[in-house]
Structure 1
């Protein structure tokens, strides 16, 4: 965090990153004094409603955060910023997205939790676009021109007013991660019964983790005076819209997923919470399980980072088989995970895996759409398999077979990709 006083005094001369949160209602002209160095500008959490028309004077600006400001219109000046590849305007009050506001080289466009009803056809001209975050808006349809974004890999359109997923969207060649829950679509899943666990039976302990959708804590569950108490994990959900969608949709998908060896078991749903907070009781995972990778950075955009992880080929095969089995189980139940990433997978030294984080999960609108949703998720699996193979310590004759499988999973013609059942069979063989 920086201060306006430091900026004005010249103390920040030459910085590449500037963060100002000071109740600003106008863009400080002093920022232009950093035109020769500034690459990342964070003006989130102010009172800004517009940006200067000559913002392009910041010729090295690559990343712009302006979330939690009362903008009602995406500033048109962004369209002249040629180096800008990340634009974040989350939780503003944006209604309008002018065609001229789209930066020519944008790779990530984050417009989550606004009031947008339509997107300009010009978005189809954003040839570099890989990540588009639109959850929590008022979109009734997507412009068909979006099909021109041939590099688009991650799309979040949950919690809008969409009545269908158009065929052209489901055939986009690079799309791998799609979140669409919370729209008025058909829903062919059947409700799964789940045990109701009274809040009074739970004793909360330390926090294990916190994400956009909720907080996970270790807890002790004592069902009655006869049954021995057990250690569990409790996830209490927030009510806010996340970048993936609604936490309550996530909870519904977790319950519907049922039991599987490569999913974190749900023991029950919390009832009678004093603040009416929704939550689940989950099996407590052994500490030997760790997260497989870190989430994408702003620069890597849609790719996880592994930090030097090294794996044997046998571990890669075992892990891939486990995740394919989990995905096959979900899709057989009409559930699209939507966020099949290494950073959502827990693993141990034996190659055992658990797929978690259902924040982007959604139910099939119909069977035909489901066939395409599965093949979109298969592309995410192919990318994951390639990344795991890149972590291999050495190769052997089976490496080529796995590389070939990964290539089949990511091919442009989505219906030529294998389904998860076929992937399982090949990996088992």
Structure 2
């Protein structure tokens, strides 16, 4: 089926979604025949460098994706679309974002992997802005007007040229997921903390077998580690890509995994790969028992920042508490090392029916010095992410004794006053008390 031919022949009348990836160099004017119905327009993977000046004719358009094209300027006509909520222009060549280009109802903006040096102050005039993804650009500052965006929950500003984090960013009442690694910030804001026990494992010792999975940052294979003078050991091998992901640099993810050290709720890193024939960076990690599964799926276009759970997800009270306690414990461990996970979400948690759990995906992890004045705020931002997770667990758990105290803890973790939230040490203490009352 040729979708472009169908569009040109008028066979798509009334369509709400249109996906075109066929080497386009110009915007097909026939798209305007869908103006009364089109809600999602995906033009990713073409060779477009402009959009028409009358794009605002698409009065129903809610989602626009133009990633992996050849735009050097963010099209000003986007700002004319009254219903547009989600805009994605990842991996283009964008250098300039006009002040008039931001639609009034913008909720989710993706400008990852471009060449942007500054953003307009009009970004602060988007009161619904909830998710802002700017990793892999050339920003030296953020618009101060963003302090007015009180709905902002997820911010990705890794791999830019920011010399510091603005104080106002760390006071946003709903911010829960922040990634800023790979900026030229002072001291330990940009220096990985290697605990010094990571071994080098030569590629020749690894018998790489089948593919286990692929993520934005790399490929994971099952392998057999032929250890010198020890029994062979089944392991997982992750080879990292060099490209910028939505969270930041894959190599920063590797450094964060190493720096995280050892904890029962982390996937153990056995060593760093050396001697790869293509000089790929990678890690050798424990092979996860197949009885573990993701607690939830990632957010959808509609949910924006909220994970998607299977409709039938129900948890025994003890299991829900064990998961919450495990994640709070590992978060406390990371914070004690000056590491913010940055993506503390159910979709990054593996669990089994007994409530054992592992926190993974360090792609958004960032470092900070424990004695810095911003350290407490950075920690409490992640406490809000945990509070949202705790709320999701409580919603899906069976009746339990002491539920009111847990709901109170959840509310305190999510309160808008960032510095008034408890730290993870206190959270762990209260979860232990709740566990003993079951």
TM class by shorter-chain length?
over 0.9
Q: Which residue of 1 aligns with 2:38?
A: 38
Write the distance in 1 (CA, Å) between the matches of 2:193 and 2:29. Answer: 57
Matches within 5 A, 1:174-323: 174-188=174-188, 190-193=193-196, 194-224=198-228, 226-308=229-311, 309-323=313-327
Q: Are 1:91 and 1:112, in contact at CA under 8 Å, matched by a contact in 2?
A: yes
Stretch of structure 1 that moved more, 417-426 or 31-40:
31-40
Write the distance in 2 (CA, Å) between the matches of 1:265 and 1:397. Answer: 34
Q: Which residue of 2 aligns with 1:387?
A: 392
Write the distance in 1 (CA, Å) between the matches of 2:247 and 2:102. Answer: 22
Q: TM-score, normalised by structure 1?
A: 0.98
Matches within 5 A, 1:14-413: 14-188=14-188, 190-193=193-196, 194-224=198-228, 226-308=229-311, 309-365=313-369, 367-392=372-397, 394-413=398-417
- RMSD over equivalenced CA pairs, Å: 1.1
Aligned to 1:168, the other structure's residue is in SS state helix
Q: What is the CA deviation profile of residues 124-181 of structure 1, one whole-angstrom value per residue up to 9, with x for unaligned ones?
A: 1110000000000000011111110000000000000001001111111110000000
Aligned to 2:97, the other structure's residue is in SS state coil
Q: What is the CA deviation profile of residues 178-233 of structure 1, one whole-angstrom value per residue up to 9, with x for unaligned ones?
A: 00000001243543221000000001111111100001111000112x31101000
Aligned to 1:215, the other structure's residue is in SS state strand
Q: Are 1:337 and 1:358, in contact at CA under 8 Å, matched by a contact in 2?
A: yes
Stretch of structure 1 that moved more, 368-377 or 419-428:
368-377
Write the distance in 2 (CA, Å) between the matches of 1:201 and 1:190. Answer: 27
Q: TM-score, normalised by structure 2?
A: 0.96
Aligned length: 427
Q: CA deviation at 1:396?
A: 3.4
Stretch of structure 1 that moved more, 226-235 or 17-26:
17-26
Q: CA deviation at 1:332?
A: 0.1
Write the distance in 2 (CA, Å) between the matches of 1:214 and 1:271. Answer: 16
Write out the 4+ residue segments of structure 1 that deviate beyond 4 Å after TM superposition: none
Stretches of structure 1 that go unaligned for 5 or more consecutive residues are none
Write the distance in 1 (CA, Å) between the matches of 2:145 and 2:165. Answer: 14
Q: CA deviation at 1:2?
A: 5.0
Q: CA deviation at 1:318?
A: 1.0
